[in-house]
Amino acid sequence: MTNTEKKSLLKLATKEGTPIFIIDHDKLRANFREFREKLPEVRAYFAIKANSHPEIVKTMFDQGASFDVASMPEFLVVHENIKNWPDKKRQDFIWDKIIYANTIKPIETLKELNQYKPLVTFDNAEELKKIKEYAPDAGLVLRIRVPNTGSMVELSSKFGAHPGEAVDLIAQAVEYGLGVEGVSFHVGSQCSNFDNYTQALNFAAAIFKEAELRKYPIGFIDKQGKRKKVLDIGGGFPAKYNAESKSFTALAKKLNSEFKRLFKNDNVQIIAEPGRFMVATACTAVCKIVGKSVRDGKTCYYLNDGVYHTFSGQVFDHQHYPLHAFKEGETKLCATFGPTCDAFDTISLADELPEDLQLGDLLYAENIGAYSAASATYFNGFPPAKVVHVNLNRIKN
C-alpha cells in the first residue's frame, strides 16, 4: 500500500471511527471485468456467501453478474434488486441468472423456491424425492464429488455424488419427471492445484457422454430451440492474497484449453461460482490499539477487532490477514489479540509490527473481503466493524 493510500485510510478512519470494514467498489468491478475477460466463455454467478453485503450484490448486479445463493435469505438479497420488475421479467431473471447451489434444502425452502423455477443443485436420491414433492418446477444440476487436493478449504467430504453414481441419479430424476439441466462440481476454495479442474472436467465430460448413450436427456431448450447442457465449474479461483498466490491468468489459460478440448462439439453453457475471487482483494479493515502489554518478552497489542468479528476468516476460512502499522519504525514479532474475553480471540502471535506503538494507534489488514465480515458475530456484546463504501479514486485522493 502506498503512502498516499495509507493517508487516505487514516483520514477515513478518523472520520468514521474504528473498527471499519472498507469495501472498494471499483476493485469489485475490476475483479469482475478480469474474470470475464480471461474466461470469456464462462458466465459468472457471484457466490454471495463470500460477502453478502447488499451493496456488493448491487454492484455485481449492475455489472451484469448472475448469482449463486445457498439460502433463502441470500436469495432474497438478490431478489431485492428486481422486486419491482414486472412478474415475467423477474421470473426470466431468476430462471436465467440465479442458481441455488446448496445441495441440501429444507422443505420450507423448496416450497418457497418452486414458484421461481430456479436452477437448484442436488447430489443424492433423498434430495431428489424432496424436490419431486416440493419443487417439481425447478431445474436440476447434479453436483459430483471431485478432487480437492491443495485447496485451502475442501468441500468434497460434505458435497457431491460419486461420479460413478451420477448417471443413475440422472436416470432417477428423469423417472420422476424432473428436468436435469447439467452437472456441477467444486474443486475447493482458493485452489492451488489446477489439476483438480482438469480431472473434474474430464469427469463431467464422461458423464455427459454416458447419459447420452443411455438416452437420458440432459439440458434445457435455449432460445434457438436447441438443447443446451449446463456445466457448472464452481469456484476455487485463486485470489491474489500475496506473491505466493497461484496465478488466475494461468488457471484461465488452462481452463480455456480444456473447454475447447472436451466440449467443442457439445452445446454447453459454462457457468462458474466465483466468490472469493471477486471480493477478497476489494476490502480493507482498519482497527485501533486499545491495550498493550509485554508477555514473556513479547509485545502484545489488544485491538478493537478480532477473530469473532472481521478476522473470523482466520477460523472459518483458514486464511491469515497480516496486520500493518501506519507508523513506521523497526519491526519485531508481536502478538495481536481481539477485544473479547476469550483467549481464542488471538489474531496472530507473529505479526511484524513496531513495538513502540501506543494506545489509539491504528493498524490495517488488506485483502480481507472474503469470508470475514460475512461470518462476524456479536460475541461478548462487541458489534461487527462499521461497513464503509468507497471507490478506488476516493481511496487514492
Reported as a single tens digit per residue, the pLDDT across 123-168 is 999 999 999 999 999 999 999 999 888 888 888 888 999 999 999 9
Co-location of 260 and 317 in the same domain: no
Co-location of 61 and 114 in the same domain: yes
Reported as a single tens digit per residue, the pLDDT across 241-270 is 988 888 999 999 999 999 999 998 778 999
Cα(259)–Cα(256) distance, integer angstroms: 5
pLDDT interval class at 196 (50, 70, 90) = very high
Written as one letter, the residue type at 56 is I
pLDDT interval class at 397 (50, 70, 90) = very low
CA distances to 305, 334, 367 from 353, in Å? 17, 6, 18
Co-location of 264 and 319 in the same domain: no
Co-location of 237 and 288 in the same domain: no
Say what the pLDDT of residue 334 is.
97
Co-location of 58 and 133 in the same domain: yes
Active site residues: 341
CATH number of the domain within which 77 lies: 3.20.20.10
Co-location of 146 and 45 in the same domain: yes
Assign 3-class secondary structure to 103-134: CCCCHHHHHHHHCCCCEEEECCHHHHHHHHHH
User: Which residue, 279, 314, 338, sits at the end of a domain?
Assistant: 279
User: Which residue, 250, 279, 308, sits at the end of a domain?
Assistant: 279
The total number of structural domains in the chain stands at 2
Reported as a single tens digit per residue, the pLDDT across 62-88 is 999 999 999 999 999 999 999 999 999
Q: Angle formed by the axes of helices 25-38 and 248-263, to 10°?
A: 40
Co-location of 10 and 156 in the same domain: no
- The mean pLDDT value for 278-289 works out to 97
Co-location of 341 and 222 in the same domain: no
Phi first, then psi, for residue 297 (nearest 5°) are 80, 0
User: Which residue, 212, 245, 279, sits at the end of a domain?
Assistant: 279
CATH number of the domain within which 320 lies: 2.40.37.10
CA distances to 181, 232, 323 from 229, in Å? 6, 10, 46
pLDDT interval class at 394 (50, 70, 90) = low
Co-location of 210 and 269 in the same domain: yes
pLDDT for 396 beyond 60: no
CA distances to 145, 163, 197 from 203, in Å? 9, 7, 10
Co-location of 122 and 219 in the same domain: yes
Residue 324, burial from CB neighbour count under 10 angstroms (0-12, 13-18, 19+): middle
Co-location of 86 and 186 in the same domain: yes
**Which of the pair, 376 or 265, is modelled with greater confidence?**
376
Neighbour count for residue 318 (Cβ, 10 Å): 14
Reported as a single tens digit per residue, the pLDDT across 46-59 is 999 999 999 999 99
- 351 lies in which domain range? 3-22+281-396
Co-location of 294 and 218 in the same domain: no
- The mean pLDDT value for 345-355 works out to 96
